[in-house]
Amino acid sequence: MKKHFSFESITEMPKHQKTHFINSLGGFKSVSLLGTKNNLGTTNLAIFSSIFHIGANPPLIALIFRPSPPERDTLRNILETGFYTINHINESIYKQAHQTSARYDDSISEFEATGLQAEFKNNFPAPFVKESNIQIGVEFKERIDITINNTIMIIGQIKEVYVPEESIGEDGFIDLEKANTVTCSGLDCYHTTVKLDRLSYAKPNLEITSLL
Amino acid sequence: MKKHFSFESITEMPKHQKTHFINSLGGFKSVSLLGTKNNLGTTNLAIFSSIFHIGANPPLIALIFRPSPPERDTLRNILETGFYTINHINESIYKQAHQTSARYDDSISEFEATGLQAEFKNNFPAPFVKESNIQIGVEFKERIDITINNTIMIIGQIKEVYVPEESIGEDGFIDLEKANTVTCSGLDCYHTTVKLDRLSYAKPNLEITSLL
């Protein structure tokens, strides 16, 4: 049995309840750790569940920043240095990843606070997360201010990618389950996944087949 | 063992392979059916994996449109009527949902072509998907043109929500697994999920606890 919520009943929800409710409605989300450093060399690590694909040609990836404090450090570092990393979260590190959302003092790096290890390689200016199986080095490209709710969209170009060799298919598909990547829902729920199927390219009047 | 891909090696990938590869890198995605109709009353249904939460206060949800044909119908209907529905996909309908991505003639509704049922209720102007367990009625609010890759972001306000009663927690969290919602990765892979945990609000020097 479905329960109906009108715009008025949603608007009247207590703020905390509304935040959980609306956040859940968006469905399962990508969840990753953003690694940055500032011009003084202090590293920062923050969890984001607002990362999304916007195009492969050129290879771009975007994310949304809310105006709240822990996210401001990451945004400032991206704008200051022009580079950041996106690191997939796996089952072994999701609790440490969640802990990066605590409001630490500016002088404390979330790498040290959570025990996750910063990894610098191939002269990329931002720190990767060593424990992460899929690591992406990104260069800042464009900032779009979303005035309707005071959020900011940051678009970056994918510059470096590290992926477990055994998770990459011949057609370029990356098996995220083999890489142990998790997903999240709402503000605080983490999930592993179970593959249903990969489906063939759909055409009118042609039955879909399995690609597995 | 991780394999390293430089910007150059990504750029040189064949287009099809690059599309799969970059799409996979974004992590698990929300995947839903968008229901619309045009001013003549013809319904349209299309699968999207580019839907994302952008804020709860006010309750907003966004999605990205590529410039390609099957997506153009949905975009045109949204701009023409101002309303659309977002319908979560579950295990029973993911193949029909995938089939909506075929390039049908304008005169054919994907509801008829796939056998999914259009549901009109409470005077909402756009069709819901009857087989969907979580249904969201949305009003168009803002269009943002992303010039870097010729995509379009559409922001809408959540106006009506239908959710299975047993999936809603006291704090507003919706248990998407109880609602049978699936997730997807890459262009064509569908997954169910297995909950790891819900974690408490993180604070410095305080151990995270389970909310379950």
Kindly report, residue by residue over B22-31, the tens digit of the pLDDT: 999 999 999 9
* Residue listed under structure tokens 């690694």: A35
List Cα–Cα distances, A56 to A32, B47, B150, B179, in angstroms: 19, 19, 12, 32
- Helical H segments across chain A, by residue range: 7-11, 15-25, 69-81, 94-99, 110-114
Give the span between the Cα atoms of B186 and B23, in whole angstroms. Answer: 5
Question: Looking at chain A, which residue has its C-alpha nearest residue B152?
Answer: A54
Res A71: pLDDT: 79
Q: So what's the pLDDT on residue B67?
A: 81
Query: What percent of chain A clears pLDDT 70, i.e. is strictly above it?
Result: 99
> Are residues A25 and B61, on separate chains, in Cβ contact within 8 Å?
yes
Say how many C-beta atoms besides its own lie within 10 A of residue B192's C-beta: 17
Peptide bond into B127 cis (omega under 30): no
Closest-approach residue (CA) in chain B for A109: B204
Residue A67 has a pLDDT of 81
How far CA B148 is from CA of A60, A81, A200, B73, B167, in Å, comes to 9, 20, 29, 22, 40
Average pLDDT taken over every residue of chain B? 96
For residues B125 and B35, is the Cβ–Cβ distance under 8 A? no
Domain-located, residue B66: yes
So what's the pLDDT on residue A84?
98
Q: Which band of pLDDT confidence, cut at 50, 70 and 90, is reported for residue B20?
A: very high
Best of B188, B194, B207 to disrupt the A interface (most A CBs within 10 Å) is B188
B148-170: average pLDDT:
97
Cβ contacts of B9 within 8 Å, gap of 6 or more: none
Compute the nearest-CA separation of A40 from chain B (Å).
23
Q: Is residue A44 part of a domain?
A: yes
pLDDT at A181: 98
Q: Tell me whether residue B12 is in a domain.
A: no
pLDDT one-digit tens code per residue, B116-143 = 999 999 999 999 999 999 999 999 999 9
Residue A5 has pLDDT above 80, yes or no: yes
Task: Read off the pLDDT of residues B67-108 as tens digits, 9 standing for 90 and up.
Answer: 877 678 999 999 999 999 999 999 999 999 999 999 998 889
pLDDT value at residue B154 = 98
- Please tell me the distance in Å from A139's CA to the nearest CA on chain B: 11
Rounded to two decimals, the pTM is 0.96
Both tokens of B204, joined, read: 């410095």
CATH number for B138: 2.30.110.10
Q: What pLDDT, on a 0 to 100 scale, did the predictor assign at position A198?
A: 97
B144 in any annotated domain? yes
Q: Is the pLDDT of residue A172 over 90?
A: yes
Q: Do A52 and B64 make contact, defined as CB atoms within 8 angstroms?
A: yes
B169 band by pLDDT with thresholds 50, 70 and 90: very high
Does ipTM surpass 0.90 in this model?
Answer: yes
By C-alpha distance, the chain A residue nearest B92 is A196
> What integer pLDDT is reported at residue B138 of this predicted model?
98
Domain around B127: 26-191
Does any domain span residue B157?
yes
Beta strands B128-129 and B135-146, pairing class: unpaired
| Percent of chain A with pLDDT strictly greater than 90 | 93
Examine residue B211 and state whether it is found in any structural domain, yes or no. no
pLDDT value for B105: 87
Indicate whether B5 belongs to any domain: no
Whether A26 sits inside 8 A of B160 (CB atoms) is no
Residue A5 lies in a domain: no
Q: What's the domain count of chain B?
A: 1
